[in-house]
Amino acid sequence: MDSLTWFLVIFVIVAVFAVLARFIKNLNPLEEYGPANYKYSAKKYIMTSAESECLKRLERICGEKYYIFPQIQLSSLLNHKIKGQNWQAALSRVQRKTVDFVLAEKTTMQTAYAIELDDRTHDRTDRVNRDSFVNQALNGSRIPLVRLRNINRMTDSDIIEVIKLSRLG
């Protein structure tokens, strides 16, 4: 064999090994996130005190009829695979957004209501824009959205009335 043939054989062997190495690297899902040199610590609580109090009230008010799930991502509530739209783009719009609570029918596990506990942070421009998108997405999918503001001033009857009205609206 002449030197050009040897060069081509070696080049092909190196290329095959490079492809195999890349394939094997992709088999390890942790590699996707880079080296595992980040450190984490446990949060003391998974909810704010206001969210925790709201959950207790919702359990008291609705707990017989509904399961109450806290901090649910919109991507768990909404189907983004709608014919004629870019599925990836639709998913990216809802992927990291959550609602504070979801009430699901105990008998069917169907979503009955999404609930947002709105405090004064929802007055910020970025939150107003985010809330507008959430309103539009849930309204378009026919999931009633309940917005509770100043819940500490509301009676249980007030909360029940707001929930009922959201189903009608």
Give which of 104, 106, 123 is closest to 114, Cα–Cα: 104
Answer yes or no: is pLDDT of 1 > 70: no
Mean pLDDT highest for which of 1-10, 65-74, 81-90?
Answer: 65-74
Residue 70's pLDDT is what? 96
pLDDT digits (tens, 9 = 90+) for 42-74: 999 999 999 999 999 999 999 999 999 999 999
Quickly state the pLDDT bin for 29 (edges 50, 70, 90).
Answer: low
At 97-140, the pLDDT tens digits run: 999 999 999 999 999 999 999 888 888 888 889 999 999 999 99
pLDDT exceeds 90 at position 87? no
pLDDT at 23: 67
Q: What is the DSSP letter of 14?
A: H
* pLDDT level of residue 4 (50, 70, 90 thresholds): confident
Helix (H) or strand (E) holding 100: strand 98-105
Distances (CA, A) of 98 to 125, 144, 158: 18, 15, 24
